[in-house]
Amino acid sequence: MMDTTNQISKYNKIKFHLIFLFILSLYYLVPYFLLGQLTLYPHDILDIAVVLNNFIGKMYHGDTESINIFLGGQIKWYFLRGVFQPITLLYAFFSSEIAFWITDVTVKLVSYICFFKLSRKLHCSYFNSALISCLFVSSLNYTIFGLGTAALPYIIYIIIKNKNLTLKHYLILIFFGLNIDLANNILLIPLVFFITFILNLKYHQYNFKLFIKVAAILSFFIFLSNSNLFYAQIFSETSQRSVWFYDTPNLITNSYNLFEKFFYISGVKNSSYFFHHLPFALFFIPIILLSLFSRNKTSLLLLLTAFFILFIDFFLNLEFINSLRNNSDGSLRTLDWGRIRWKLPLIYCLLFINIISSKVIKKRQHIIYSLIFLLLISLQIRIAVVPIAKNFLSFENLNQQQQDQLRSNFYAREYILLIKNILKFNKNKHTVNNKKFKSSYTFEGYYDYENYKYIKSLVKNSRTISIGLDPMVAAMNNIKVLDGYHTFYPLCYKLKFRKIIESQLDEYDVWKKYYDNWGERVYTFVSNPDVIKINFSKARELGAEYVISKFAISNILLKPICINCNNASNLFLYKIDEF
């Protein structure tokens, strides 16, 4: 199964790649064959990134006014991330769904090739290089944000290769730089230096000139592709980020968070979606422990780098540092410096290169490699577990009360009670004829195109506000909105919108704290139909004429337009009366 010599036939090389590329393809094939649709985790993708990219594509088609759909028409194009990234151009030529999946496949292929070249340079066997490259690709959660993590192995590779850059290298670095999102890769260059310096220790003297040249090329083109954000920060009106307020955890909690993140167990311990994170923990915990006791200088230094990355978060959460940030006006306050933690899987994969050829692995290689293959497969299907389970259990055929009960059990991590309720509800399940599978893990399910097309036919070009529903779904369906999810927008709009939700926020300290301290989600924050304290007159003043709601609302200012719109349960449309 593994190559034990440096002489491998071309047939075996192709075979190894096909094996691991097939494993990666299971991410697409399993949900497609079982559900008829591709699935993805919607958080930060369907609820913001895809929607914004969709409108960037429209702007490239010449529809520069399309941006006015968002936030009452009070956000400008230069507040959007990815406007100048070439990879975003796909949204100008394809539908948003096709553009997303082309991007997803492209970024994963780039990351596979980049890590494979790096691992071969580090004298990893051909088979193991393909295997660890597969693991690295599987660790990419957000391919939509560009090539920052995907390109990192290649940047490291050309520096430790220690040869003069050719035209090919320059072109690749330019392409990578143009497609790197600065917000998520603010500390990319320093990380490249530390990793390449460590990896170079056992080979030759560090080539500082080469590093500076590579860093200069990348920095220039990263700046170029993100220049609109610099313009917005320096020359435009004050953004909502300028009033970010950082809470300070106590020292024990801060230290415990550092420990959990280092061993990759925070997602397993603190989330009802633990199965999304469990395969990574099962991979990385043994890698960390074996590296700690390996007495390998390179491994220990890489572990120290991983610890230092997480220590940035720890340091920034210290009381006196948070006090400085909360009282500053610059990038110390407005940037999320801790995002560098997204690069931890790369370091753990580099550690895996040192471990996989160790005596411990070789003694039990058949068992260990079998487990590795099972974990790699589980990484591909982890996201599809929820929609597949809901489809298998005919979740859509349960009544609303039963659905809410199962959701409550799941989010409360009452798994035994969840199983009992599933069995009980399925005994007397009400069958709905021709009930179509629908999941928020799919484009069609999340954006609810059919029902919102009907809503669009009623509201036409009027502006709306959403109650209990994601307003970005309305925006995706070309419906003008007051609310939405934006990581960068004018502070004045945040303050205007707060007047609409002021009484609602008073009911929920958590959401009040979130909106005042961060405010990226400009939502109405209604989850309980019995607690709807939205100021609809203020919404009307800001431009909203209609309310799209998940709940029935009784309010003197609201005139019902449709109940269970388009025969969809939990979809209501109201017109806000003029006053």
Which pLDDT tens digit goes with each residue over 137-179?
999 989 999 999 999 999 999 999 888 999 999 999 999 999 9
- The reported pLDDT for the residue numbered 428 is 65
113 and 198 share one domain = yes
165 and 200 share one domain = yes
Residue 438: inside a domain: no
Q: What is the pTM of this model?
A: 0.93
- Residue 15: pLDDT band by 50, 70, 90 thresholds? very high
402 and 373 share one domain = no
Residue 296: inside a domain: yes
Last residue within a domain, chosen from 361, 381, 401:
381
What is the overall mean pLDDT for the chain? Answer: 91
396 and 456 share one domain = no
Whole-angstrom distance, CA of residue 408 vs CA of residue 232: 42
More confident residue, 316 or 469: 469
- The reported pLDDT for the residue numbered 1 is 42
- Tens digit of pLDDT for each residue in 352-371? 998 887 766 777 778 888 99
Q: What are phi and psi of 575, to 5 degrees?
A: -105, 135
Residue 201: inside a domain: yes
Q: Within 364-490, where are the H helices?
A: 365-381, 385-392, 400-411, 415-427, 443-447, 449-459, 471-476
Residue 407: inside a domain: yes
State which residues form the domain around 503.
448-576
- Tens digit of pLDDT for each residue in 254-265? 898 888 888 888
- In DSSP terms, 572 is beta-bridged to 549
Measured between alpha carbons, how far apart are the two ends of the chain, in Å?
75
- The reported pLDDT for the residue numbered 112 is 98
Statement: residue 578 has pLDDT above 90: no
Angle at 168 between CA 165 and CA 8, to 5 degrees: 95
- Residues in CB range of 482: below 8 A, 6 or more apart: 71, 72, 463, 464, 465, 471, 497, 500, 522, 539, 542, 543, 544
DSSP symbols for 239-297? BGGGG-------HHHHHHHHHHHHTT-HHHHH-TTHHHHHHHHHHHHHHHHHHHTS--H
- The reported pLDDT for the residue numbered 6 is 54
374 and 390 share one domain = no
Q: Within 317-341, where are the H helices?
A: 319-326, 331-334
- β 480-481/463-467 pair status: parallel
- The reported pLDDT for the residue numbered 434 is 52
Whole-angstrom distance, CA of residue 104 vs CA of residue 383: 14
- Residue 430: pLDDT band by 50, 70, 90 thresholds? low
Average pLDDT over residues 320-338: 81
Torsion of CA 7, 9, 10, 13, to 10 degrees: -80
Residue 128: inside a domain: yes
309 and 410 share one domain = no
Within 10 angstroms of residue 212's Cβ, the number of other Cβ atoms is 11
- The reported pLDDT for the residue numbered 2 is 47
Evaluate whether 185 touches 221 at the Cβ level (below 8 Å): no
CA 191 from centroid of its chain's CA atoms = 21
419 and 477 share one domain = no
398 and 501 share one domain = no
Q: What are phi and psi of 238, to 5 degrees?
A: -60, 135
- The reported pLDDT for the residue numbered 431 is 52
142 and 221 share one domain = yes
284 and 373 share one domain = yes
152 and 176 share one domain = yes
Statement: residue 122 has pLDDT above 50: yes
- The reported pLDDT for the residue numbered 340 is 84
- The reported pLDDT for the residue numbered 559 is 95
Evaluate whether 280 touches 345 at the Cβ level (below 8 Å): yes
- Tens digit of pLDDT for each residue in 181-191? 998 898 999 99
Average pLDDT over residues 546-567: 95
149 and 297 share one domain = yes
Angle at 53 between CA 274 and CA 482, to 5 degrees: 90
Evaluate whether 159 touches 211 at the Cβ level (below 8 Å): yes
- The reported pLDDT for the residue numbered 376 is 95
Residue 466: inside a domain: yes
Last residue within a domain, chosen from 381, 406, 439:
381
Residue 327: inside a domain: yes
Count: domains in the chain = 3
- The reported pLDDT for the residue numbered 381 is 95
Residue 441: inside a domain: no
Statement: residue 227 has pLDDT above 80: yes
- The reported pLDDT for the residue numbered 94 is 95
More confident residue, 313 or 571: 571
- Residues in CB range of 526: below 8 A, 6 or more apart: 467, 468, 504, 532, 534, 550, 551
Average pLDDT over residues 475-498: 96
Angle at 89 between CA 87 and CA 94, to 5 degrees: 110
Statement: residue 23 has pLDDT above 80: yes
